[in-house]
Structure 1
């Protein structure tokens, strides 16, 4: 079984396919390494693709120590995959929890990144939503402990931003829900508390994001309401970024609309690899409506 050992001694399971420029996929809270199968099959035709399960998600190790789970740990685990496999610089593609970690790669490990895709990011980050998010995560943690993931996963899979997935692709949704319910109860609770609940608010990281230079694609589903405001904020703050809003799409966009998602990411990384991805033109931010300021 292929594994990488992190700098703090945790074993991570990974899978890879293809050859060429490396691309690392980082899953959401409700996913695992299997969540990226549609992307692995598509991108492995021209890239070296790696998908892995985060700590707390078997077959990766499930550490019992709560301090082994944090936003920094999640970010450093991506770096461990990249350095452990000698990938050099990689395209990092993350969804939700994985999207947060991808953004933090740009802040803390920019030298390891060819580009970043941050999809479905923003839960709990909108102004005035922190207390609500923490209260909901506390309630979820209690239910995970009392019900196990085999039961609570049925509820978590039917979150408001996942209903459109169930509507448009019942077969794909059923597979997603079944895999979610297989997750470790202990690992899920520890991840919810250490990574999700305690992560820094995106709006508090404005200074770092304003200095980021890694090419970044932000992707939001237009029916994933908790991410829309944060996605606009990231677009306006990261000068090397672009924003894509996918129509009639919820949170699990790489599974809901894999063809549209794959084509958008392919167009992005092709521009990056071709050297044609450019930062925002400063004059476009001058505030004028009709005329740009003089260069």
Structure 2
């Protein structure tokens, strides 16, 4: 099972499940925990191969977005969490949407930060380059390059450093498994863009998320259950670049979709 950590407000409070992106870990949510645990039960996860989720049983499972999403549901089942709000960043948003398609009754709402819904030409070229050299180039060189391309501005430096630091905990073999998964991502995302789970969804994107924001802006008008919020002076990792605004907006959104009135103490 994935490594996880919980913050329990009470059995009567609703759950929020936080899902990080590729190369990260549950530690990227450190600017959210204090605010969110005041009103909700919190579940933090390390995806397989990330953080402290390094068991051999996990690593020998096949790698697909569906299988990795099932890892998350396995933890929820273990904790008797029948339904939850989900908050994700980057590739974690793909897993959340996959869960919503697989088991929509488990998802009260989705907050998709720095959502990846289409790979543009630059990102496709980067993935092809990485695939061509991954056998003989240290994966941290590739990861640093990707981090600089995705988060290029000076005020993205903290987000870059955080993700590079967490990625160092991955081994080369594990990086290759996740990288192979990204090679199949565009057909998967195309199908996902054409469907929409009947779940309240907030896309929250940085205005400086040059690689992924345009695709969200193009598709949002076709979505019935979704809305888009764009944060100024913010890049791809919006929960780190603009934590106060991120926390405020996401909490407001989740409160609107709670089945019971939220109490704060």
Instruction: Bin the TM-score by the shorter chain.
Output: 0.7 to 0.9
Alpha-carbon distance between aligned partners in 1 of 2:136 and 2:25, rounded to the nearest angstrom: 22
- Structure 1 or 2, whichever has the larger Rg, is 1
In the TM superposition, residue 89 of structure 1 has moved relative to its aligned partner by 0.8
For the 8 Å contact 2:113–2:237, the answer to whether it is kept is no
- For the residue of structure 1 that corresponds to 2:235, the secondary structure is coil
CA separation in 2, counterparts of 1:215 and 1:44?
21
TM-score between both structures, scaled by the size of structure 2 = 0.85
Q: Deviations over 1:243-273 (max 9, x none)?
A: 1111121111111111111111101001111
Structure 2 residue aligned with 1:286: none
Residue from 208, 230, 234 that aligns with 2:195: 208
Deviation, 1:149, is 3.8
- Unmatched tracts of structure 1, length 5 or more: 6-11, 277-295
Shift in CA distance, 143/44, structure 1 to aligned 2, threshold 3 Å: farther
Please report the TM-score for the alignment, with normalisation by the length of structure 1: 0.77
Aligned with residue 76 of structure 1, among 70, 80, 105: 70
**Is 1:90 aligned with 2:84?**
yes
Residue 17, structure 1, aligned to residue 7, structure 2: yes
Q: How many residues align?
A: 255
- Highest relative contact order (Cα 8 Å, sep 6+), 1 or 2? 2
| Cα gap change, 1:123 to 1:240, in 2 (>3 Å) | closer
Aligned to 2:166: 179
Structure 2 match to 1:50: 43
- Matched with 2:136 is 146
Which residue number in structure 2 is paired with residue 256 of structure 1? 241
Measure, in 1, the Cα distance between the counterparts of 2:139 and 2:34: 28
Aligned equivalents of 1:270, 1:183: Cα separation in 2: 36
Distance 1:138 1:73, change over 3 A: farther
Residue pair 2:15, 2:43 contacting (<8 A) in 1 also: yes
Q: Which residue of 1 aligns with 2:100?
A: 106
Q: Conserved in 2, the CA contact under 8 Å of 1:145 and 1:186?
A: no
Contact 2:93 2:112 in 1 (8 A): yes
Alignment partner for residue 252 of structure 2, among 267, 273, 276? 267
Q: Which residue in the other structure is 1:162 paired with?
A: 151
1:287 match: none
Q: CA RMSD in A?
A: 2.5
Give distance in 2, aligned partners of 1:237 and 1:80.
32
Question: 1:125 touches 1:203 (CA, 8 Å); kept in 2?
Answer: no
Report deviation, 1:232: 2.5
In 1: Cα distance, 2:156 partner to 2:222 partner: 35
Q: 1:112 Cα deviation (Å)?
A: 0.5
How far apart are the structure 2 equivalents of 1:116 and 1:98? 11
Q: 1:39–1:135: structure 2 CA closer, same or farther, 3 Å change rule?
A: same
Q: 1:59 to 1:155 in 2, by over 3 A?
A: same
1:155–1:97 distance in 2 versus 1, CA, 3 Å: same
**Cα deviations across residues 169-207 of structure 1 (Å, max 9, x unaligned)?**
65564344322223222112101212x221334333355
Question: Residue 220 of structure 2 aligns to a residue in which SS?
Answer: helix
Unaligned runs of 5+ residues in structure 2 are none
